[in-house]
Amino acid sequence: MSQTVLKLPTGQLYKMQSYYKASLKGNPPPGAVFSAKVNGCSVTAYKSGKVLFQGPNHEQESSKWGAANPSVKKKTNKPSPTESQHAPPSSLYTSSHAGSDEAGTGDYFGPITVACAYVREDQIAGLKAAGVRDSKSLKDPQIEQIARKIVQMEIPYSLVTLHNEKYNQWQKKGWSQGKMKTMLHHHAYNKLLQKMSPNQPEGWVIDQFAERSIYEKHLRSEKATLQDNVYFLKKAESYSIAVAAASIIARTGFVRQMDKLSEHAGIYLPKGASQKVDQAAAKLIETKGSDCLEQYAKVHFANTEKAYKWIK
């Protein structure tokens, strides 16, 4: 969706609210002074002074306020020349935005989990104080504790799980793991938008695992299209608190699924893809038969072949 963002004095926001009185929406998003729908344009004004104009007539509507305030420069969602073509503008990191990340992609046992979280501008400091950062720098017990704090703060999120049976079916159909992740991120964001409707984030940051062109190719192959205001960034959890929160939620979901799988298997299933994993897979094959791996593992990993070498 095309958009314009203006930064206006606080007093101007209430003049705008009066101007759009007849078109105000009943439930403005969190952190907003008001939200209105007028002339093919949605207008949302935040307490920070940021005003978001979205829709076909965003330039026409925003120009009314730009003209009244010559000192205010119109902003767009295009990155500066020094930024990557599809990287988010730096201002997005301090704005209300969504982020997504995944867990379990390199683990032989267990599913892939993808989480998408929405963080309001006024929640960023609280999340940082709660210890939210890249889950890869945290141990699982820490992640579990921080995940509970995220839930207590009522951060909107979605969690999508690709269980092993479905993973193996898709892999045998010729799906790469990249395509699987693409569809999981796509689905997770759509689920989040449904929860937030009719409100929308100012942008969505994906912890980049593929080039944008490849991501869009995967979507087209399943007759899906990329949503609006989507940005791709490597190591995004270091910049976006929403991505960092999503990484913690995704990891927590993965760890909980692993606990369930271990209980169901009757043996401890290690994370990762080490020799201990090979030995656990061998034990599963000996006790439950080779077909059982479809329920517990990503069977195309080299660990499957290695497991058979441990069987006497």
Rounded to whole angstroms, what are the CA distances from 287 to 270, 290, 293?
A: 17, 9, 11
Do 129 and 206 fall within a single domain? yes
| Res 47 pLDDT > 60 | yes
Q: What's 162's domain CATH number?
A: 3.30.420.10
* Average pLDDT across the chain, whole number: 87
Give 312's strand partners.
Answer: none
**DSSP, residue by residue, 158-190:** EEEEE-HHHHHHHHHTT--HHHHHHHHHHHHHH
Do 175 and 112 fall within a single domain? yes
Do 57 and 142 fall within a single domain? no
135-139, 142-146, 215-219: least confident range: 135-139
| Exposure class string for 204-232: b at 16+ Cβ within 10 A, else e | bbbbbbbebeebbebbeeeeeeebebbbb
Q: How confident is the model at residue 29 (pLDDT cuts 50, 70, 90)?
A: confident
The answer to whether residue 75 sits within a structural domain is no
| Res 79 pLDDT > 50 | no
What totals of helices (H) and strands (E) does the chain contain, helices first? Answer: 11, 9
pTM listed for this prediction: 0.73
Q: What percentage of the chain carries pLDDT values higher than 70?
A: 93
The answer to whether residue 151 sits within a structural domain is yes
Count: domains in the chain: 3
Q: pLDDT tens across 48-64, in order?
A: 888 888 877 777 778 77
Element (H, E) at 253: helix 241-265
| Res 171 pLDDT > 50 | yes
Q: What's 9's domain CATH number?
A: 3.30.310.10
5-14, 181-190, 252-261, 266-275: least confident range: 5-14
The answer to whether residue 73 sits within a structural domain is no
Do 32 and 127 fall within a single domain? no
Residue 80 confidence (pLDDT): 37
**Helix, strand, coil abundance in the chain, percent, nearest 5:** 45, 20, 35
Do 110 and 169 fall within a single domain? yes
Mean pLDDT of 169-191: 96
Contact between 202 and 111 under an 8 Å Cβ cutoff? The reply is no
Q: How far apart are CA 180 and CA 247, in angstroms?
A: 17
Scanning the structure block, which residue is given the tokens 């963080």?
A: 119
**Domain around 295:** 268-308
Do 28 and 148 fall within a single domain? no
Do 8 and 116 fall within a single domain? no
Q: pLDDT tens across 220-253, in order?
A: 999 999 998 899 999 899 899 999 999 999 999 9
Do 189 and 114 fall within a single domain? yes
Give 119's strand partners.
Answer: 97
Strand locations in the chain, DSSP E? 3-7, 32-38, 41-46, 50-54, 97-103, 112-119, 157-162, 204-207, 230-233
R_g of the chain, CA atoms, integer Å: 23
